Amino acid sequence: MRELQDLADALINGYADRVSKLTNELLETGVEPQTILNEGLIAGMTVVGEKMRTGEMYLPEVLQSASAMHASLKLLKPHLVKEGVESRGKILMGTVKGDMHDIGKNLVGIMLQGAGFELVDLGLNVPPQKFVEAIGMHQPAVVGLSAMLTTTMLNMKTTIEAINNAGLRSKVKIIIGGAPVSQKFADDIGADGYARDAVKAVDKVKELLAA
């Protein structure tokens, strides 16, 4: 459908106003919200992710596309909720205690939403107990821990230990990311996976949920 391709193209180019206009027009003509989500937004963000992976798009452009995506989601969400459309899975994310960096985390969240996942973002400087409480409240499939400092990355281990001590570890998959962390560190602290960038994070979440 040409209009859905136009929506995806506008999203890729970061044209928020046009994305909103096209979303409204598609809804008014009776196109299913799930179809708009899948064939417009997710299709567009898939291209954005691939262009980011190959270096054809950089952070400022990706953020423009993300802003356009949120403009459409704001219009779509009431319709998606009304229809009881299920997401691909719920993801809980946060930057661990002591760390005030969130650009990387936010980009991962954007890409996950663009791939059709429901996101619960706990924000910055999140203590272990808050992750534990949020898991109990939201029942996510995956928990993402972010840290940008070598001094705060150890709080990922503390958080995983708190989740384990609360008896919740078997209920969630845990991935970590951030400049100082690695696959070895993920293995050492008992995480299920590591992603070095936002595109890899989406791939890892899909892989963990398919396992």
State yes or no: pLDDT of 86 exceeds 70.
Answer: no
| Structural domain harbouring 16 | 2-83
What is the spatial distance between Cα 161 and Cα 49, in angstroms, rounded to a whole number? 32
Strand segments (E) across the chain = 90-95, 118-121, 142-146, 173-177, 193-194
Based on the domain organization, do 22 and 55 belong to the same domain? yes
Residue keyed to tokens 């281990």: 157
More confident position, 104 or 130: 130
Based on the domain organization, do 77 and 133 belong to the same domain? no
Residue keyed to tokens 């299913």: 32
Mean pLDDT throughout 23-45? 93
Q: Which of 63, 83, 103 is the last residue of a domain?
A: 83
Based on the domain organization, do 55 and 96 belong to the same domain? no
Look up the pTM and report it. Answer: 0.79
Residue 104: the pLDDT is 86
CA distances from 96 to 17, 128, 204 (A): 35, 8, 20
How many domains does the chain fold into?
A: 2
Centroid of chain to Cα 32: 23
Residue 88: the pLDDT is 86
Lowest mean pLDDT among 30-34, 102-106, 181-185: 102-106
Q: What is the CATH number of the domain that holds 18?
A: 1.10.1240.10
